[in-house]
Structure 1
Amino acid sequence: MERHKETPPQWKTTIIISTSLQVLTQMLTAQQHRIRFSDSVQSGAFIFPLSGTAFLLVDPQDLPEPFEESGLIEKIKKFVQVHRNCFLLLHAPFNGKRELEILTLIQKRFFASNLRILPVRNNTEIVKGMLTIAKATSKPHVDNIRDRMSLARAHIIESSPVWEMLRDKL
């Protein structure tokens, strides 16, 4: 008897996008995500309301020289203040010297903040990275992941010889 593996239903969500990012919307729309454009969203931002995540796309090629005078640090600072769970998508297709300098400067400046930096090389990686993170942090997926982690932890504790030895000592 032949068994067919059932594919899970495709995950779909609503994404609020700044009006300046119309290029990537075609890829998101093709995956049947609902897109809402907003002029009030910071330029270069993608917001996933259901998962509480926000992404800011930065392309070092669009920044003027010298980089320090581009206003990017202030833009990122404002983004971090507004969004609690935030990611910076650093578009660096070739990882040249300038891209690495910008990455290093941003990492140093925002080291102790809640900003996570995700280097991306192309539009496919941008979309895939955002959707993976947004899906993993949205309900019911986050609850499912949390439940599976709890089960794995319980299994490890129950079957671990180290835990058995510690239990015997107490």
Structure 2
Amino acid sequence: MRARRALLGIGAAVAVTFTLTACTGSAAPNDGAAPSEPASASGPMTCETILRPSFAEQLAELGWSAQQSPFRIGEHELAEGIQCVWGDAEHATDVAQMYGWAPVSPEQTAELQQYLEDNGWLREEDGDVVYLTEDPDVVGYLEEGEYGMTYQFASGWVALADTKESLDLITWRG
């Protein structure tokens, strides 16, 4: 539990940095809509390219690197997606952050959302965007009103972050 709180503390510090960056107008928030210029035009999807460039740079400056794997939701693998665990591999700490993105069809979206709900994840809708987050009563490390690991579904894609607020750091839209 201490490690998760440390992770959330780092996430909060990064969120403050992100908020300050966002206030300068250098980056637009992730509102679930695709940006006018798709990120894929600049190259392949990697752990660095799915995140805001300034945030990926901050992680690198901390000495963190990413371990890349296929995007997974339980036993469901979305091979065209990417899931990244960022951390300090050199010093082998248990503090890490997770981000991911994958394209999904409407059929996959319905199946994956139902799978998560059947496994106790809580559903929230915001316009055309659906969030499924782990139940704070089940995971036990969240304070009231906090969100833990969350999937964000929009038209044609799903994103993952270890907190709902951290979904704003994912910019890839394929």
TM-score when normalising by structure 2: 0.28
TM-score when normalising by structure 1: 0.28
Q: Which has the larger strand fraction? A: 2
Highest RCO, 1 vs 2 (Cα 8 Å, sep ≥ 6): 2
Q: Which has the larger helix fraction? A: 1
